[in-house]
Amino acid sequence: MIRDLPLNAGLFTAGIVAIFLACLLGSTSLSIADVFGGLTATGADEHSVIIWQIRLPRAFAAFITGAALAMSGAALQGLLRNPLAEPGVLGVSAMSVLAATLVLYFGLATASSLILPAAAIFGALLATALLGFAALRTGSVVTLILIGVGISSFSGALMSLLLNFAPNPFSLADMVNWTLGSVANRSLTDLAYSLPFILAGLGLLLASARGLSALTLGEEAAAGLGLNLMHQRILVIVGAGLATGGSIAIAGAIGFVGIITPHVMRPLVGHDPGRILLPSALAGGVLLVAADILIRILPTYAELKLGVVAALIGAPAFVWIAIQKRSGGLP
Amino acid sequence: MTQLSADNLSLNAGQTELFAKVNLSLAPGKLTCLIGPNGAGKSSLLTCLAGLKKPATGTVLLNGQDLTGMSSTERAKQLSYLPQNRQLSWPISVEDAVALGRFAYGGTPARLSEADRTAVDEALDICELNGLRKRATDTLSGGELSRVHFARAFAGKAPLLIADEPLTALDPKHQLRVMRLIQRFTENGGTALVVLHDIALAAQFADVLLWMRFGRLVDEGSPAKTLTEQNMSRVFDVSARIEDGRLISIADA
């Protein structure tokens, strides 16, 4: 995508700067030189440990989560041709969190490190598949979003039921943490289990970019252009399921990144739903790293959870986007 | 010359028959207008002929090849289809919308080859959209938007064009303008099948009229031969006055 090279290069640089800034923050104060030394393992050993074991994994976790959610949101918006579609709004995140929490509730997560990511991804894929089937039956995007709201509410209700039956305060706290969403205390190993799924998901979504552009003309015209609609739906649904599920395995539920980031990027790529994917991913990563820096700078009594802050900013933005919606031709 | 023919075509939606026993062969290099009342099955027939829906019975042959057996890209290179819906989901620019016409050749607004670019420029030229290249499609008038859709169809260079009610919501001047675009396309060797509701315009521009009613083709031929008071009465259920092959007025039957 040569056309968007300057934009993507700029966002990529911003990502590196943001991750570096995130490495400066923490309970031990490190100078810029210390961070450089830690990163390149040329400085003091404890600096290397702090950077590579604590700060860098946290910054990476934030970036990867933001990238996965933002690109999933952008792709779902392109497929459903509605700027309000997003993993959180469509119930994909809720279902994924529910599946992850179930695994925690039954104590299965201790058996293997792969079980939690697998459960989160299974939940996300289940929700996207449900939406995919619904999309085949109904032509109305509004109906589809309402189905997503239904999936979200039902998963939320089951979550409450699980919390209700939590055997002890510790497991309750464990499960609640999932629903709040955070990237604190993640190790590179935690990331390594989810990363392959996320990368596979993002790859599938990028492969769907051309088709998303064509869908601007509507499904009938896009099919006339030579797009295989079924193939396109499967690419986006599986791609968004893998990426969202993988991100939730890392960070729990973090809402609205998938809706705000594409909204900001859209005018920069000429409103093209295919070109928007990569810039959205990069910007989503930057956004979450920046938000994670912000919650650590804010002098609050207890450290704020990333998901809480995302929702506090994101929900009003969602309403604002809904009111602003340009190109209002869709049913 | 591109050949499109249908043999014993039928399609149902559940228990309802949309159309049946349709046999037709489009005259190559000619403009064929499909006319008939609302609910006659015209749009459903077009989607089958365009290869977007599989017919319940019968086959559609495109240059002697069964349409259902062709890959979607292969089909799109031969046949461009303009559905009734003209609304774009995102306010992309005019030139990006036209560039989507290069989809079957691997082109997208993000990446166009030399050939893609030339085709897009030509299409913009033909449809007189050069001054509007950078405009967002949601700021266009209905007439401009319909020209954008024709431009994206022409950009694909397909020799066969199928358009569903391209004149809806256009003023008389823009209706003429669009009909001239289609006429020019057929004069340059293209084959066109267009659903029209304006009988007078259809009679004025079409080489062949297809008359459809209750899911059946009931007559077929040149306007001079088939635009008759009898056809107007049995197909549209109106009493028409026709003089010198021109529709003068209509009234309730």
pLDDT per position as a tens digit, A218-266:
999 999 999 998 899 889 999 999 999 999 999 988 988 999 999 999 9
The pLDDT, as a whole number, for residue A139 is 66
Structural domains of chain B, with CATH: 4-87+158-252 (3.40.50.300)
Among the partner-chain residues B52, B75, B92, the one whose CB lies closest to the CB of A271 is B92
Give pTM, 2 decimals. Answer: 0.91
The pLDDT, as a whole number, for residue A274 is 95
Contacts of B152 in chain A (CB under 8 A): 217
The pLDDT, as a whole number, for residue A125 is 93
pLDDT band for position A170 (cuts 50, 70, 90): confident
Testing the interface with B: which of A2, A8, A271 to mutate, by most B Cβ within 10 A? A271
The pLDDT, as a whole number, for residue A135 is 78
Give me the residues paired with residue B192 across strands. Answer: B31, B161
| Helix, strand, or coil (residue B29) | coil
Is pLDDT of A321 > 90?
A: no
Residue A22 inside a domain? The answer is: no
B108 at A interface, C-beta within 8 A: yes
The pLDDT, as a whole number, for residue A176 is 82
Helix axes A32-40, A5-24, angle to 10 degrees: 100
Percent of the residues in chain A that have a pLDDT greater than 90, as a whole number: 49
Q: What is the CATH number of the domain that holds A280?
A: 1.10.3470.10
**Interchain proximity B52–A224, CB inside 8 Å:** yes
pLDDT per position as a tens digit, A260-287:
999 999 999 999 999 999 999 999 999 9
Mean pLDDT of the B124-129 span: 95
List strand residue ranges (DSSP E) for chain B, in order. Answer: 4-13, 16-25, 31-35, 57-62, 65-66, 79-82, 160-164, 191-195, 208-213, 216-221, 238-243, 246-252
The pLDDT, as a whole number, for residue A331 is 36
Scanning A62-91 for CB atoms below 8 A from B yields 81-82
pLDDT band for position A329 (cuts 50, 70, 90): very low
* Bigger pLDDT: A327 vs B49: B49
Is pLDDT of A328 > 50?
A: no
Residue A2 inside a domain? The answer is: no
Among the partner-chain residues B83, B91, B156, the one whose CB lies closest to the CB of A218 is B83
Count: domains in chain A: 1
Testing the interface with A: which of B89, B103, B146 to mutate, by most A Cβ within 10 A? B89
Edge-first strand order for the sheet with B79-82 is B79-82, B160-164, B191-195, B31-35, B208-213, B216-221
The pLDDT, as a whole number, for residue A325 is 64
**Interchain proximity B90–A2, CB inside 8 Å:** no
The pLDDT, as a whole number, for residue A108 is 82
How far are the Cα atoms of A80, A243, A273, A315 from residue A135, in angstroms, in the given order? 9, 20, 19, 25
Contacts of B50 in chain A (CB under 8 A): 224
Contacts of A329 in chain B (CB under 8 A): 87-89
Testing the interface with A: which of B46, B100, B114, B117 to mutate, by most A Cβ within 10 A? B100
B13 at A interface, C-beta within 8 A: no
Q: In the predicted model, what is the mean pLDDT of chain B?
A: 93
Taking CA atoms, what residue in B is nearest to A274? Answer: B110
CA nearest to B191, candidates B145, B144, B153: B153
* Bigger pLDDT: A149 vs B192: B192
Residue A78 inside a domain? The answer is: yes
Mean pLDDT of the B57-66 span: 93
B157 at A interface, C-beta within 8 A: no
Is pLDDT of A330 > 80?
A: no
CA nearest to A83, candidates A268, A331, A318, A282: A318
Q: In the predicted model, what is the mean pLDDT of chain A?
A: 88
* Bigger pLDDT: A166 vs A98: A98
pLDDT band for position A299 (cuts 50, 70, 90): confident
Is pLDDT of A141 > 80?
A: no
Residue A155 inside a domain? The answer is: yes
A271 at B interface, C-beta within 8 A: yes
Contacts of B111 in chain A (CB under 8 A): 1-3
Specify the DSSP element, H or E, that contains A80: helix A56-80
**Interchain proximity B89–A330, CB inside 8 Å:** yes
Which ipTM did the prediction report? Answer: 0.92
List Cβ<8 Å contacts ≥24 apart for A229-235.
A232/A79, A232/A208, A233/A79, A233/A132, A233/A135, A233/A136, A234/A132, A235/A204, A235/A205, A235/A207, A235/A208, A235/A211
**Interchain proximity A327–B93, CB inside 8 Å:** no
Testing the interface with B: which of A3, A5, A213 to mutate, by most B Cβ within 10 A? A213
Residue A25 inside a domain? The answer is: no
Is pLDDT of A104 > 90?
A: no
Structural domain that includes position A167: 55-324
Mean pLDDT of the B117-126 span: 96
**Interchain proximity A266–B90, CB inside 8 Å:** yes
- H helices, E strands: number in chain B: 9, 12
Collect all residues with Cβ–Cβ distance below 8 Å to B225 and sequence separation of at least 6: none
Which of A64-73, A164-173, A183-192 is modeled with the greatest confidence?
A64-73
Among the partner-chain residues A2, A223, A327, the one whose CB lies closest to the CB of B90 is A327
pLDDT band for position B176 (cuts 50, 70, 90): very high
Which of A21-25, A134-138, B13-17, B230-234 bottoms out in mean pLDDT, i.e. has the lowest?
A134-138
Is pLDDT of A126 > 90?
A: yes
The pLDDT, as a whole number, for residue A190 is 84
Residue A42 inside a domain? The answer is: no
Taking CA atoms, what residue in A is nearest to B102? Answer: A225
- Report how many Cβ contacts below 8 Å link chain A to chain B: 106
